[in-house]
Copies of this chain bind each other. A is one copy, B any other.
Amino acid sequence: MSNLSTSTAKGPNARTRLLDAARDIIRAQGFASTSLDQLCTTAGVTKGSFFHHFQSKEALGVAAANYWSETTAALFASAPYHDHSEPLDRLLAYIDFRSDMIDGPIEGFTCLAGTMVQEMFGSSDAIREACNASISNHAATLEADILATMSKHGAPDGITPQSLALHTQAVLQGGFILAKAKGDPSIARDTVAHLKCYVEMLFAKGEAQ
């Protein structure tokens, strides 16, 4: 976590440039298709510099997932959905926030962790674990608001904060796949609209509790 984003007056350092390149290229074409040559050329660094920072392509993959976790965590931590006073409003505003992010080029809004784990789950346990941490730890940031919402509004038997939080991430990941298949972000926003409808219905009955 130390000097991941260290930069100087000249711009980001070589390690950060490699991680930025990995994020952008892997989201556009997957992990296996991404060569060290392409990463080094895009980052403007030498192969020697690559191996100074990363022991292997797998190590770069793990570091890219961790970098993704750190940078997206900062984005979500400062997002305006936290400002609502009611926990259900925060949860619904989170879903709106995610929907609003689904726009522009597909490789610009889709998830590095979901993309990498789709192809690498059986080939690299280290990459799988880093991707799982990225997705699961983000999901966990929603649990407190879901628990507070359930305490206030009730919820059907069997619904837990953890399982609903992970369901929100499954819907997003699946929406990204449909957007890729159709070449159209709107299908991902449609599926997130179903998620919002689900959350609204889950907590509507207990409004008066």
Contact = CB atoms under 8 A, between A and B. Distances in A.
A197 interface: yes
Given A30-B32, A118-B118, A174-B172, A167 B191 contact: yes
B174 A175 contact: yes
Interface string A184-197: 00011011011001
Tell me if A's interface is mostly helix, strand, loop or mixed: helix
Contacts of A114: 118, 177, 181
Number of this chain's copies in the assembly equals: 2
Q: Most B CB atoms within 10 A — which of A106, A114, A119, A156?
A: A119
26 contacts: A32-B119, A117-B177, A117-B181, A118-B118, A118-B177, A118-B180, A119-B119, A128-B180, A128-B183, A132-B181, A132-B182, A135-B178, A136-B181, A136-B182, A156-B197, A158-B193, A163-B191, A167-B191, A169-B174, A170-B171, A170-B175, A174-B177, A177-B177, A197-B198, A198-B201, A201-B201
